[in-house]
Amino acid sequence: DQQVKQNSPSLSVQEGRISILNCDYTNSMFDYFLWYKKYPAEGPTFLISISSIKDKNEDGRFTVFLNKSAKHLSLHIVPSQPGDSAVYFCAASSPSGGYQKVTFGTGTKLQVIP
Amino acid sequence: EPEVTQTPSHQVTQMGQEVILRCVPISNHLYFYWYRQILGQKVEFLVSFYNNEISEKSEIFDDQFSVERPDGSNFTLKIRSTKLEDSAMYFCASEDVTSGFLREQFFGPGTRLTVL
C-alpha cells in the first residue's frame, strides 16, 4: 500500500541547473508534507516542509510546491550543487493527536554533475 | 548542535536471538519514534512513543518488538527473537512537541542490524 510514491528512482542534473523531484500521494487525510535528504550511512535529515493549507514554501535554494487537487508535490532545487547529491525522501503525515506518523516514499537518488 | 545518537552502529546476531537497539534522543524532545529501512526499500514507520507509552504502532511492530524508555535519556527497541527478515537499518527519531508548525523529526544515524 504505497500511500506516498516517488516514481523516479534516480535523477541526474548538471550543476547550476534546476532539480525537480516529484512525489504523489493517495491519502487525502495527509495534512503535512516533508522532504528529507539522506546521505549514505546517515539518517534522514529534514529539508523543508509544507502544510496542506499552503501551496508553496521556499527556503533558500529549496522550494516545495503542493497541488492538493492532484495530490502531488514537488521539490525544486535551484541552482543545484554537487553537495546536493543524495537520496531525497518525500514524506507525509496526518493528524494523530500530537505525534506524527510519517509515511515515506521510496526515495529519489539525485546526482548533481559538476 | 544537539543530535540523536544510536548505538551500536552495526549489530550482527543469530536468528532467534534477542537484540536491543539503543537511542539517545535530543534532550528536550518528548516524542520518539523508530523506523526501519530494509536495503533498497523505503523508510517504514514502526512505532511512536510519548509520555512513556506507545502512541501508535504499525503492523510490522508485532509482539516480537517492544520499546522502552528506561531512564531519562535512553530509548530502546528490543526484538525478542530475531528473524532473517528483521535485517535492516533501524532509525530512531525524536521531535520537540513545542516545535509548532515546523514539526521536524530529527533522525539518528541508524543501526544496521544483520540477522544470520
What pLDDT was estimated at residue A8?
93
Any idea of the CA torsion for A7, A12, A16, A17, to the nearest 10 degrees? Answer: -50
Contacts of B108 in chain A (CB under 8 A): 43
Of B6, B42, B56, the CB nearest to A106: B42
Quick one: pLDDT band at residue A1, thresholds 50, 70, 90? low
A89 contacts in chain B (CB < 8 Å): 42-43
Instruction: Find the CB nearest A49 among B50, B97, B102.
Output: B102
What is the pLDDT at residue B72?
76
Count the neighbouring beta carbons within 10 Å of the beta carbon of residue B78: 13
Nearest-CA distance from B81 to chain A in Å? 25
Would you place residue B30 in the very low, low, confident or very high pLDDT band (cuts 50, 70, 90)? confident
Helix, coil or strand: residue B43? strand
* Per-residue model confidence (pLDDT) at position B80: 96
Q: If you write DSSP's letter for every residue of A17-34 in order, what string do you get? A: S-EEEEEEE--TT--EEE
Within an 8 Å CB–CB cutoff, is residue A7 touching chain B? Answer: no
- Rounded Cα gap, residues B40 and A45, in angstroms: 18
Task: Identify the structural domains of chain A with CATH numbers, from first to last.
Answer: 4-109 (2.60.40.10)
Q: Which pLDDT does position A19 carry in this prediction?
A: 98
Report all structural domains of chain B as residue ranges with CATH numbers, in order of start: 5-98+106-115 (2.60.40.10)
Q: pLDDT tens, A7-50?
A: 999 999 999 999 999 999 998 889 899 999 999 888 999 999 99
**Cβ neighbours of A41 in B, within 8 Å:** 109-110
| A65-109 confidence digits (pLDDT tens) | 999 999 999 999 999 999 999 999 999 987 666 667 788 999 999
The more confidently predicted of residues B96 and B97 is: B96
